[in-house]
Structure 1
Amino acid sequence: MKSQVTWSKELQFTGVSESGHKIVMDGNQGKIGPSPMELVLMAAGGCSSVDVVSILEKARQAVSDCRVELEGTRADSVPSVYTAIHLHFVVSGKDLSEKHVARAVDLSMEKYCSVSLMLAKACEITHSFETVAA
């Protein structure tokens, strides 16, 4: 897997993925795009959400929406790395089984989500979930 990041101006950079997708990153308090650290948080949410939805669909659960609310705590000193990240999944659907949702979230966090598993080597990762009838 490859990507490229190019300086645009000020503290703004454009990242281009191997698949050709572009994203603007902003190291200037997020004036025109997310900061690299915000992208790390979003990557954990995106990676784990893919797992959760995929696992639930394979379990024939009628998922209509999946949202993950992330909260990251960073060190006060430089480098201000994440010291803790909490992911709270809100899964909506018709007649969802809490047991299936709990299993999907656990499997993602403990076995499948590459981003969260990598981050867990450097900070505490916790998770929770709720289901919403749709």
Structure 2
Amino acid sequence: MTLVLVALGGAAGSVLRYLTDRRVQAWRDSPFPFGTLTVNIAGSFVLGFLSGWALYGGLPSPVRSLVAVGFCGGLTTFSTFGYETVRLFLEKTRLYAVLNVVATVLAGLLSGGLGLLLAAALWS
């Protein structure tokens, strides 16, 4: 059953990542990968929240499999972040490449921390 939950969550997360990326990129019309940045920040928040739930509220194992492993795993993408950063560097938009790394790391950590704090406030 765990494998099914991971697969269902992953499918939902992947589809949402694709749709969000296309929507955000069309809205921004920029070589900077705002779509990937958006899904990675959102996924970091959700995973931070779920981590807090696990620490303070006892996150049920099926929810962890469906949402933390499956959905967040499908929603967030390190490989696309890496590819887009290298692409920006090779296309001589090196400032965007550096900004992508800095923004993704800092915003991801901040977002995950905020999710963790929210869960702590709810369950502690």
TM-score, normalised on structure 1? Answer: 0.32
Structure that is richer in helix per residue? 2
Structure that is richer in strand per residue? 1
Q: Which has the larger radius of gyration?
A: 1
Which structure exhibits the higher relative contact order, with contacts defined as CA atoms closer than 8 Å and separated by 6 or more residues? 2
